[in-house]
Structure 1
Amino acid sequence: MTTDSFLPHTPSSVPAPCGVPQFDPLRVRGGKLRLRRALRRRRRAPAAVLAMTAAALAATGAAGADDLVAQPPPRPAVQERQRPPAVRLVSAPVRIADAATVRLLRPGDRVDVIAGPDASTGAGGEARVVASGARVAEVPKAGETRSDAGALVVLSVPRSTATVLAGAGITSQLAVTLC
């Protein structure tokens, strides 16, 4: 390599500017017609699809739109099973005899409440289920329970079940089992 290639350009080394020759503007003919033809073709495709759909429906014997409006839809022979009316739930505080069992519960758990015979009265009897599938709403915090007095749990139950729970809590000791 020579050292001349690294030298800055001098005005004599730059080529002279070239002029652009003059020419007439280009005119494209038929542009509007092409656009119109394309639009016409696009209209034909949906029309053809609709015509084929109508022909297929006519061939299968499907009812037209006028038939559907004139006749109401047939009623089913068997009535659908109706939902039972919504039951309003109430909060029922329940004292459970065993505080250690209550520590196992969490809000949202489902429990069965069992009323057993009261050991302090000495009366014999059978244990019975007072509430089935009750949802636990609140449980006491870790330091709030005393093992001798049991623990208070709040259950969400129907009003009639809350009445039965209150009566059973007075006459007997209550226990819970997780469902």
Structure 2
Amino acid sequence: MGVPPFPPLHVRRSGLRLRRALRRQRGTMAAGLAVTAAALAATAAGQSEGHAGRRTSEAPETAALTAAAPARKRPADEELVSAPVRIADAATVRLLRPGDRVDVIAAPDSPSEDGPAAEIVASDVRVDEVPAPDATAPEAGALVVLSVPRDTAAALAGAGTTSRLAVTLC
């Protein structure tokens, strides 16, 4: 009994299939990057028409992220200042990182029946710095430095003297 006849086997190198798949994937990725670049360029061009005389010192990565973010309700020429704020709950402050966006809420130390229980003092403000907690007085809360407009900084300072301040992440 012999070996039955069969057609010859052609063994292909598997590397060819892998290279062919990568070539197809590269073309798809290049097309996606081209569309993304065109969208970012169109967005940047539309924004630059509104701010023709204004120069920004943002890095290109930051400008791209800002272009993709929803528009803020602040005027473009509004000056931001650093405002140190003492938040009543130190554990909440430990969750914050520089760059986070927060709302600051003031709750009066002695709530009255007539007034509101709590009010938003600053909305959608950026955390600049989270200093190390004060180990000598943990019950006093924790400090956080926020980047806010000048009038909001004054409101935060006033609310901090009469109320307990809290933050919520945006």
TM-score (norm 2): 0.52
Please state if 1:89 is matched with 2:73.
no
Distance 1:176 1:115, change over 3 A: same
Residue 128 of structure 2 corresponds to which residue in structure 1?
137
- The runs of 5 or more residues in structure 1 that have no matched partner are 1-80
Pairs within 5 Å for 1:19-168: 82=50, 84-118=75-109, 121=110, 123-124=112-113, 125-141=116-132, 144=135, 146-168=137-159
Distance 1:154 1:144, change over 3 A: farther
Q: How many residues align?
A: 98
Distance 2:136 2:93 in 1: 9
Distance 1:143 1:123, change over 3 A: same
Distance 1:116 1:129 in 2: 9
Distance 1:86 1:147, change over 3 A: same
Distance 1:166 1:82, change over 3 A: same
- The runs of 5 or more residues in structure 2 that have no matched partner are 1-48, 52-74
Larger proportion of helix: 2
Please state if 1:178 is matched with 2:163.
no
Identity of aligned residues (%): 68
- The one-letter code matched in structure 2 to 1:134 is V
Distance 1:110 1:100 in 2: 17
Residue 65 of structure 2 corresponds to which residue in structure 1?
none
Distance 1:123 1:176 in 2: 22
Q: Higher Cα Rg: structure 1 or 2?
A: 1
Distance 1:171 1:151 in 2: 17
Distance 1:174 1:87, change over 3 A: same
Distance 1:85 1:102, change over 3 A: closer
TM-score (norm 1): 0.49
Distance 1:134 1:116 in 2: 18
- The one-letter code matched in structure 1 to 2:142 is A
Distance 1:143 1:170, change over 3 A: closer
